[in-house]
């Protein structure tokens, strides 16, 4: 088995105190970049030094060699322009930081321009709750009805079924770029074809890229989407509170859930709202949380320095190695084998997956499980081939002996977040 070349970035991340810990949960929460503590110190100091004036201007900690002025007020667009847009291959002035994807979808569905396009929202039953539940929660409140398309027998998006669901009453089609329960990546040609069909029907096309952004090169313009949502919590290592939205240039939307930060004249304190001339700013709510934005892009900085092509190749090499080990141990895969359909995740079908996850954790190997059916892992830029080998040595022995299915109290999972 060839050994993948390492990416020289381990020193740029902070690891748990445990010696030899193997962190394979990039798909749920990335490691902390080593610059985060200093950035948080800068937030504390800016708050102390400038108080309310920090909304107008603080030192440019994010691009210190630039003479661009930045303040708390402008961080959602400034950081999105300089760090999120390169992750997505997006044009200038089309991205915005958001508190979470749930807010973005709710805000979008409140826009009358969505309802004017039709009455159906096409979404698969495997969409993450931020999208699937949001669509269902609007059913009956406005003239939008979820049209939920079943996935195929292996839990993946069925392009033909999605295609068949698109019609003259379709207002929007929303697809997950990567399935969170399968790790399956929808290929670019499929996304482009479905985007074209949605547009032919007069519908919007939205991609939820939470499990793809920061793991591979993207070009949202080439994919043909009108909106691309995701976040920096996972592989981008930005922690929570740092989601984002891309809005295609020229897309006119006036969401009714916009907050006073999204008003045309926020400090005019007018008695009636008016939509901001910058469409993306209409997706802003009330007063923006600032502290999380200080550390938002430190992981993105590392990934862009390395190059997303290199990030993707390293990920594929490590998942190749994981799949080969799984085959050797006769462990079935839930995730795809082919590189064209493979994300950063590998999912193993094992009995009592939660117990195996706890067994691995007790040995300093961090994975997670879903529905007690699959063990999930995502070898990422800080992982090495040797760590994958060690992980599967422990997995193979545990599955072979079955001992993990009777865990000791010390191995019991502490809660739903693993």
Residue with token string 């802003």: 284
- Are residues 238 and 95 part of one domain? yes
3, pLDDT greater than 90: no
- Are residues 286 and 337 part of one domain? no
| 183-to-62, 113, 364 alpha-carbon distances in Å | 32, 33, 24
- Are residues 316 and 294 part of one domain? no
Flag whether 35 is in a domain: no
Q: Which of 213-217, 236-240, 397-401 is predicted least confidently?
A: 397-401
Flag whether 23 is in a domain: yes
- Are residues 293 and 207 part of one domain? yes
Distance of CA 32 to the CA centre of its chain: 16
Q: Report, as an integer, the average pLDDT of 125-142.
A: 89
Q: What is the pLDDT of residue 347?
A: 97
55, pLDDT greater than 80: yes
Q: What is the pLDDT of residue 5?
A: 61
Cβ–Cβ under 8 Å, residues 210 and 218 = no
- Are residues 15 and 164 part of one domain? no
Q: What is the pLDDT of residue 370?
A: 86
Contacts of 411 (CB under 8 A, 6+ apart): 355, 358, 359, 361, 362, 404
2, pLDDT greater than 80: no
Flag whether 416 is in a domain: no
Instruction: CATH number of the domain at 368, please.
Output: 3.90.1150.10
Task: Pick 413 or 267 by higher pLDDT.
Answer: 267
Instruction: CATH number of the domain at 291, please.
Output: 3.40.640.10
pLDDT band at 155 (very low <50, low <70, confident <90, very high): confident
pTM, two decimal places: 0.94
List, as one string, the DSSP characters of 373-410: TEEEEB--TT--HHHHHHHHHHHHHHHHH-GGGS--GG
Flag whether 33 is in a domain: no
Q: Report, as an integer, the average pLDDT of 330-335.
A: 96
Q: What is the pLDDT of residue 415?
A: 64
Give the residue from 248, 270, 303 where a domain finishes.
Answer: 303
- Are residues 203 and 235 part of one domain? yes
- Are residues 47 and 123 part of one domain? yes
- Are residues 242 and 210 part of one domain? yes
The tokens of 280 are what? 């993306």
pLDDT, tens digit, for every residue of 296-308? 999 999 999 999 9
Domain that holds residue 159: 42-303
361, pLDDT greater than 90: yes
pLDDT band at 418 (very low <50, low <70, confident <90, very high): low
Q: Report, as an integer, the average pLDDT of 144-170.
A: 94
pLDDT band at 54 (very low <50, low <70, confident <90, very high): very high
- Are residues 160 and 126 part of one domain? yes
Q: What is the pLDDT of residue 417?
A: 66
- Are residues 217 and 91 part of one domain? yes
199, pLDDT greater than 90: yes
413, pLDDT greater than 60: no
pLDDT band at 154 (very low <50, low <70, confident <90, very high): confident
Residue 243: name the closest of 177, 315, 297 by CA: 297
Give the residue from 283, 303, 323 where a domain finishes.
Answer: 303
Give the alpha-carbon dihedral of 148, 345, 312, 125, to 10 degrees. Answer: 0
228, pLDDT greater than 80: yes
Q: Which residues pair with 58 in a beta bridge?
A: 70
Q: Write the burial class of residue 98 (CB in 10 Å: 0-12 exposed, 13-18 middle, 19+ buried).
A: buried
106, pLDDT greater than 80: yes
Q: Which residues pair with 263 in a beta bridge?
A: 275
- Are residues 379 and 281 part of one domain? no
Flag whether 32 is in a domain: no
Q: Which of 5-14, 62-71, 378-387 is predicted least confidently?
A: 5-14
Q: What is the pLDDT of residue 405?
A: 83
Q: What is the pLDDT of residue 141?
A: 82
Flag whether 200 is in a domain: yes
280, pLDDT greater than 60: yes
406, pLDDT greater than 70: yes
Flag whether 2 is in a domain: no
Q: Which of 214-228, 363-377, 398-412 is predicted least confidently?
A: 398-412
Q: Report, as an integer, the average pLDDT of 67-80.
A: 97
Provide the number of structural domains found in the chain. 2
- Phi first, then psi: give them for residue 334, nearest 5 degrees: -95, -25
Task: Pick 321 or 417 by higher pLDDT.
Answer: 321
Give the residue from 303, 330, 346 where a domain finishes.
Answer: 303
Instruction: Identify the helix (H) or strand (E) that includes residue 43.
Output: helix 36-50
pLDDT, tens digit, for every residue of 369-378? 988 899 999 9
Flag whether 418 is in a domain: no
Mean pLDDT value across the chain: 94
Q: Report, as an integer, the average pLDDT of 212-232.
A: 97
- Are residues 154 and 287 part of one domain? yes
414, pLDDT greater than 90: no
Q: What is the pLDDT of residue 158?
A: 95
Q: What is the pLDDT of residue 252?
A: 94
């Amino acid at each position: 088995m060839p050994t993948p070349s390492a990416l020289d970035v381990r020193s740029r991340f902070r690891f748990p105190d445990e010696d030899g810990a193997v962190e394979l949960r990039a798909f749920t929460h990335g490691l902390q970049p080593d610059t985060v503590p200093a950035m948080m110190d800068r937030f504390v100091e800016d708050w102390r030094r400038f108080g309310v004036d920090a909304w107008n201007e603080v030192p440019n900690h994010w691009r210190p060699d630039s003479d661009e002025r930045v303040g708390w007020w402008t961080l959602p667009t400034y950081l999105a322009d300089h760090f999120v847009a390169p992750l997505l291959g997006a044009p200038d002035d089309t991205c915005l930081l958001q508190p979470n994807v749930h807010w973005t979808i709710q805000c979008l569905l409140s826009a009358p321009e969505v309802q004017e396009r039709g009455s159906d929202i096409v979404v698969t039953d495997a969409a993450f709750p931020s999208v699937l539940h949001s669509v269902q929660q609007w059913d009956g409140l406005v003239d939008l009805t979820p049209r939920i398309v079943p996935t195929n027998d292996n839990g993946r998006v069925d392009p033909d079924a999605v295609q068949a669901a698109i019609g003259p009453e379709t207002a929007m089609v929303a697809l997950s770029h990567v399935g969170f329960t399968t790790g399956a990546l929808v290929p670019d040609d499929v996304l482009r074809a479905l985007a074209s069909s949605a547009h032919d029907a007069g519908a919007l096309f939205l991609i939820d890229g939470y499990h793809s952004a920061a793991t591979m090169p993207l070009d949202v313009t080439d994919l043909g989407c009108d909106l691309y949502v995701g976040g920096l919590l996972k592989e981008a290592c930005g922690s929570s509170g740092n989601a984002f939205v891309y809005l295609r240039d020229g897309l006119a939307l006036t969401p009714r859930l916009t907050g006073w930060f999204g008003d045309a004249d926020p400090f005019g304190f007018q008695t009636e709202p008016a939509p901001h001339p910058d469409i993306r700013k209409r997706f802003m709510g009330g007063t923006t949380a600032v502290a999380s934005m200080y550390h938002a892009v430190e992981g993105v900085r590392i990934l862009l320095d390395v190059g997303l092509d290199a990030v993707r190749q390293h990920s594929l090499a490590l998942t190749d190695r994981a799949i080969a080990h799984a085959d050797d141990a006769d462990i079935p895969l839930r995730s795809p084998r082919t590189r064209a359909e493979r994300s950063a995740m590998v999912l193993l079908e094992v009995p009592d997956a939660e117990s195996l996850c706890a067994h691995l954790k007790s040995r300093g190997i961090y994975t997670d499980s879903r529905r007690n059916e699959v063990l999930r892992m995502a070898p990422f830029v800080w992982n090495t081939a040797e760590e994958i080998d060690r992980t599967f040595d422990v997995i193979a022995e545990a599955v072979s002996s079955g001992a993990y299915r009777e865990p000791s109290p010390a191995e019991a999972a502490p809660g739903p977040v693993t």
